[in-house]
Amino acid sequence: MTDRADVLKAYPARYYATLTKPCGWYDMGMFSSLDGLPPLSDLFALTPEQWQAKGGDYGTKIMAVIDGNLVDYTPPVVPVPLATQAASEMTWIQQQANLASAMGEVFTADMKAYVKAIAAIANGSDATSAALPARPTDVLAASAA
Protein backbone atom coordinates (compact mmCIF):
# COMPACT_ATOMS: atom_id res chain seq x y z
CA MET A 1 0.00 0.00 0.00
CA THR A 2 1.29 3.43 -0.90
CA ASP A 3 0.71 6.79 0.70
CA ARG A 4 1.44 10.43 -0.09
CA ALA A 5 5.09 10.07 1.00
CA ASP A 6 5.56 7.21 -1.50
CA VAL A 7 4.08 9.36 -4.28
CA LEU A 8 6.39 12.25 -3.47
CA LYS A 9 9.35 9.86 -3.36
CA ALA A 10 8.47 8.53 -6.82
CA TYR A 11 7.86 12.08 -8.12
CA PRO A 12 10.44 14.18 -6.26
CA ALA A 13 9.81 17.51 -8.03
CA ARG A 14 6.16 17.50 -6.84
CA TYR A 15 4.88 19.62 -9.78
CA TYR A 16 4.81 18.27 -13.33
CA ALA A 17 3.54 19.05 -16.81
CA THR A 18 2.62 16.39 -19.32
CA LEU A 19 4.45 16.33 -22.64
CA THR A 20 1.23 16.77 -24.60
CA LYS A 21 0.34 19.94 -26.47
CA PRO A 22 -1.16 21.71 -24.64
CA CYS A 23 0.15 20.14 -21.47
CA GLY A 24 -1.76 18.89 -18.48
CA TRP A 25 -0.71 19.51 -14.91
CA TYR A 26 0.05 17.34 -11.89
CA ASP A 27 0.57 18.37 -8.28
CA MET A 28 1.79 15.06 -6.91
CA GLY A 29 1.24 16.30 -3.34
CA MET A 30 -2.48 15.74 -3.92
CA PHE A 31 -2.18 12.00 -4.58
CA SER A 32 -2.10 9.25 -1.98
CA SER A 33 -1.61 6.43 -4.47
CA LEU A 34 0.57 5.75 -7.48
CA ASP A 35 -2.33 4.07 -9.25
CA GLY A 36 -3.14 5.71 -12.56
CA LEU A 37 -0.29 8.21 -12.48
CA PRO A 38 1.82 8.50 -15.64
CA PRO A 39 5.40 7.30 -15.67
CA LEU A 40 7.95 9.92 -14.66
CA SER A 41 9.45 9.67 -18.16
CA ASP A 42 6.18 11.07 -19.62
CA LEU A 43 6.36 14.21 -17.47
CA PHE A 44 8.32 17.45 -17.30
CA ALA A 45 9.35 18.50 -13.79
CA LEU A 46 8.36 22.04 -12.80
CA THR A 47 9.89 24.31 -10.23
CA PRO A 48 7.53 25.86 -7.67
CA GLU A 49 8.05 29.16 -9.52
CA GLN A 50 6.94 27.63 -12.82
CA TRP A 51 3.91 26.13 -11.06
CA GLN A 52 2.94 29.55 -9.72
CA ALA A 53 3.59 31.21 -13.10
CA LYS A 54 1.09 28.88 -14.77
CA GLY A 55 -1.54 29.87 -12.21
CA GLY A 56 -0.76 27.74 -9.18
CA ASP A 57 -3.32 25.28 -7.89
CA TYR A 58 -6.35 27.06 -9.31
CA GLY A 59 -5.35 28.59 -12.61
CA THR A 60 -3.84 27.22 -15.74
CA LYS A 61 -2.28 28.96 -18.67
CA ILE A 62 -2.23 27.20 -21.99
CA MET A 63 1.33 25.97 -22.14
CA ALA A 64 3.44 23.18 -23.62
CA VAL A 65 6.87 21.69 -23.19
CA ILE A 66 8.74 22.49 -26.40
CA ASP A 67 12.43 21.75 -26.86
CA GLY A 68 12.77 21.09 -23.13
CA ASN A 69 11.22 24.40 -22.09
CA LEU A 70 7.81 25.22 -20.65
CA VAL A 71 6.37 27.93 -22.90
CA ASP A 72 3.06 29.61 -23.64
CA TYR A 73 1.23 27.61 -26.28
CA THR A 74 -1.07 28.79 -29.01
CA PRO A 75 -2.93 25.87 -30.56
CA PRO A 76 -2.69 25.74 -34.34
CA VAL A 77 -5.65 27.13 -36.22
CA VAL A 78 -7.71 24.31 -37.66
CA PRO A 79 -8.86 25.36 -41.12
CA VAL A 80 -12.58 25.06 -41.76
CA PRO A 81 -13.25 23.43 -45.13
CA LEU A 82 -14.73 25.82 -47.69
CA ALA A 83 -17.81 23.64 -48.18
CA THR A 84 -18.47 23.82 -44.42
CA GLN A 85 -18.07 27.60 -44.49
CA ALA A 86 -20.54 27.77 -47.37
CA ALA A 87 -23.05 25.56 -45.55
CA SER A 88 -22.85 27.90 -42.57
CA GLU A 89 -23.28 30.91 -44.82
CA MET A 90 -26.52 29.36 -46.09
CA THR A 91 -27.96 30.06 -42.61
CA TRP A 92 -27.35 33.79 -43.09
CA ILE A 93 -28.85 33.59 -46.59
CA GLN A 94 -31.98 31.91 -45.19
CA GLN A 95 -32.32 34.68 -42.60
CA GLN A 96 -32.14 37.25 -45.39
CA ALA A 97 -34.75 35.34 -47.41
CA ASN A 98 -37.08 35.29 -44.40
CA LEU A 99 -36.57 39.02 -43.90
CA ALA A 100 -37.25 39.71 -47.59
CA SER A 101 -40.44 37.67 -47.46
CA ALA A 102 -41.66 39.36 -44.30
CA MET A 103 -41.02 42.80 -45.78
CA GLY A 104 -42.45 42.05 -49.22
CA GLU A 105 -39.06 42.54 -50.84
CA VAL A 106 -36.90 40.42 -53.12
CA PHE A 107 -33.19 39.75 -53.49
CA THR A 108 -31.09 42.01 -55.68
CA ALA A 109 -29.35 40.52 -58.71
CA ASP A 110 -26.07 40.60 -56.76
CA MET A 111 -27.67 38.67 -53.89
CA LYS A 112 -29.16 36.09 -56.26
CA ALA A 113 -25.71 35.53 -57.80
CA TYR A 114 -24.23 35.23 -54.30
CA VAL A 115 -26.82 32.62 -53.28
CA LYS A 116 -26.02 30.56 -56.39
CA ALA A 117 -22.27 30.79 -55.78
CA ILE A 118 -22.58 29.79 -52.12
CA ALA A 119 -24.95 26.92 -52.92
CA ALA A 120 -22.54 25.59 -55.56
CA ILE A 121 -19.67 25.60 -53.06
CA ALA A 122 -21.83 24.01 -50.34
CA ASN A 123 -23.12 21.19 -52.54
CA GLY A 124 -19.72 20.51 -54.13
CA SER A 125 -20.56 21.47 -57.71
CA ASP A 126 -17.97 24.29 -57.39
CA ALA A 127 -14.78 22.59 -56.31
CA THR A 128 -12.42 25.21 -57.71
CA SER A 129 -13.13 28.24 -55.49
CA ALA A 130 -10.54 28.89 -52.80
CA ALA A 131 -12.65 31.29 -50.73
CA LEU A 132 -16.23 32.38 -50.30
CA PRO A 133 -17.25 35.35 -52.40
CA ALA A 134 -17.82 38.61 -50.54
CA ARG A 135 -21.34 39.23 -49.32
CA PRO A 136 -23.16 41.73 -51.51
CA THR A 137 -23.68 45.17 -50.03
CA ASP A 138 -27.22 45.43 -51.41
CA VAL A 139 -29.26 42.41 -50.42
CA LEU A 140 -32.90 43.46 -50.77
CA ALA A 141 -34.78 45.30 -53.47
CA ALA A 142 -38.37 46.43 -53.38
CA SER A 143 -40.79 43.91 -54.83
CA ALA A 144 -42.16 44.66 -58.31
CA ALA A 145 -45.63 43.66 -57.13
pLDDT, residue 2, reads 65
pLDDT, residue 142, reads 72
Span 26-50, pLDDT tens digits: 999 999 999 999 999 999 999 999 9
Phi-psi region of 32 (alpha: psi -120 to 50; beta: other; left: phi over 0): alpha
pTM, two decimal places: 0.59
DSSP secondary structure of 59-90? ----EEEETTEEEE--PPPPPPPHHHHHHHHH
pLDDT, residue 1, reads 53
Span 81-138, pLDDT tens digits: 999 999 999 999 999 999 999 999 999 999 999 999 999 999 999 999 999 999 999 9
